[in-house]
Homo-oligomer: A and B are copies of this chain.
Amino acid sequence: MSTETGTAGNGTEGGPAAVEPASRRARGRATMKDVARLAGVGIKTVSRVVNRESGVSPAMAVRVEAAVRELGYRPDAGASALRRADGRTSAIGVVVDDVANPFFAALLRAVEEVAVRHGTVVLAGSADDDGSREREVAQAFTDRRVDGLIVAPSGSAVDELGSEVDRGLPVVVVDRAVEALRVDQVLSTNELGAADAVSHLAAHGHRRIAFLGDRTSIPTARERLAGYRQALAAAGLPVDERLVAADLHGEASAEGAALALFTGLPDGTWPTALFCAQNRVTIGVVRALRRLRLEDRVAVVGFDDFPLADLLQPGVTVVAQDPTRVGTTAATLLFARIDGRAEAPRTVWVPTTLLRRGSGEIRPDGAALSAAARG
């Protein structure tokens, strides 16, 4: 094993050089140079073997592979990306509102699935509906030179993203449309889905249908509100603005708003049906109806499915989104861009599905309703 090539010129080494890893910086990791020395070959040969390039004699390959195993060598992906012509890091970033939100968690998982097939790791970050944090997260990712970004934009921080797009960074927007960005977008049919939900209620005889929704700073919330208005118009129903509770945030405020609908309004003007434009809003509303013992009297349809919605009593009828499909589609589009597809940006609409479970099929019953709430 006396394989001193003499050309190393590495001043920092010493002792049993062949076995001893060269650098403590790399946490005791062997480098390509170490492998080359142990195998008695040039460093480029090691590179060829490690990257499975052709044009290496079997004998050499065997020697190198043995050295690789002996040293437990693993290539440094960062160093590789730095030097490589295409500069690819085989990492992508996913920026969502909250990775713990079931919708985004499922989306993240779907993205990961596609990413592993592309030998790519996933950086995940939560923006918490905060533009500046979104910017920071996205920047932290681009600072690491990710190959691409999947973003559910919070709304405001789009400009920074725009400059990355202009630089040529592949970006796919999910969940929330951003007109200003010329990138692929994968969106649920928010307006259509909301209209479906409200039409469904109207078809069951409801004429006083309330809207409870998320902050209107969020595009999806606005689209769902638009769908609500559109469906009312289509059904020939007037919009009573007292029945529109937008700008809710979280379960608690939704619960409060729902209670207010039945306590703050004059008798007889109460809604007989509620359309809940978001996940957590729906849950808050269900809580409120339970407290009022109205869960079997007032119809409810929610936008976005949630686990156990079918096990509640009554089961909660929802317009379900498909986060897995959104994630899969977004990731597929992203990798197509990363691999060089240069077509015009495309927007893919992922359809929603109405799931009838009981709460949305309750028919209006004004008299019983007043009595129940009063008692």
Q: Give the B-binding residues of A (Cβ under 8 A).
A: 25-29, 72, 74-79, 81-82, 84-87, 89, 91, 98-102, 105-106, 108-109, 112, 116, 119, 121-126, 136-137, 139-145, 163, 167-169, 283, 286-287, 290, 306-308, 311-313
Is B109 within 8 A of A168, CB to CB? no
Is B112 within 8 A of A99, CB to CB? yes
Given A76-B145, A308-B308, CB of A108 within 8 Å of CB of B100: yes
Is A26 within 8 A of B308, CB to CB? no
Min CB–CB distance A338 → chain B (angstroms): 11
Min CB–CB distance A118 → chain B (angstroms): 11
Name which residue of chain B comes closest to A168, CB basis. B27
Interfacial chain B residues near A75, Cβ < 8 Å: 143
Interfacial chain B residues near A87, Cβ < 8 Å: 25-27
Interfacial chain B residues near A308, Cβ < 8 Å: 283, 306-308, 311-312
Complex-state Cα separation, A156 to B50, whole angstroms: 27
Interfacial chain B residues near A140, Cβ < 8 Å: 119, 121
Is A78 within 8 A of B74, CB to CB? no
Complex-state Cα separation, A287 to B78, whole angstroms: 49
Interfacial chain B residues near A142, Cβ < 8 Å: 74
Copies in the assembly, this chain: 2
Complex-state Cα separation, A210 to B108, whole angstroms: 36
Is A124 within 8 A of B139, CB to CB? no
Interface centre among A25, A74, A286 (most CB of B within 10 A): A25
Partner of A74, one of B29, B81, B143: B143
Is B121 within 8 A of A122, CB to CB? no
Interfacial chain B residues near A307, Cβ < 8 Å: 102, 283, 306-308
Besides the contacts A28-B168, A116-B136, A121-B123, what 6 more A-B pairs have beta carbons closer than 8 Å?
Answer: A27-B145, A77-B145, A78-B145, A98-B109, A112-B125, A308-B312
Complex-state Cα separation, A236 to B91, whole angstroms: 56
Is A143 within 8 A of B82, CB to CB? no
Partner of A112, one of B122, B124, B144: B124
Partner of A102, one of B78, B105, B126: B105
Complex-state Cα separation, A167 to B23, whole angstroms: 12
Interfacial chain B residues near A98, Cβ < 8 Å: 109
Interfacial chain B residues near A29, Cβ < 8 Å: 167
Min CB–CB distance A18 → chain B (angstroms): 18
Complex-state Cα separation, A72 to B167, whole angstroms: 11
Interface centre among A29, A141, A283 (most CB of B within 10 A): A29
Complex-state Cα separation, A87 to B25, whole angstroms: 5
Min CB–CB distance A94 → chain B (angstroms): 8
Interfacial chain B residues near A139, Cβ < 8 Å: 74
Given A124-B124, A312-B312, CB of A144 within 8 Å of CB of B72: no
Interface centre among A86, A101, A105, A125 (most CB of B within 10 A): A105
Partner of A122, one of B26, B76, B100, B123: B123
Name which residue of chain B comes closest to A120, CB basis. B140
Is A100 within 8 A of B109, CB to CB? yes
Interfacial chain B residues near A137, Cβ < 8 Å: 116
Complex-state Cα separation, A306 to B112, whole angstroms: 24
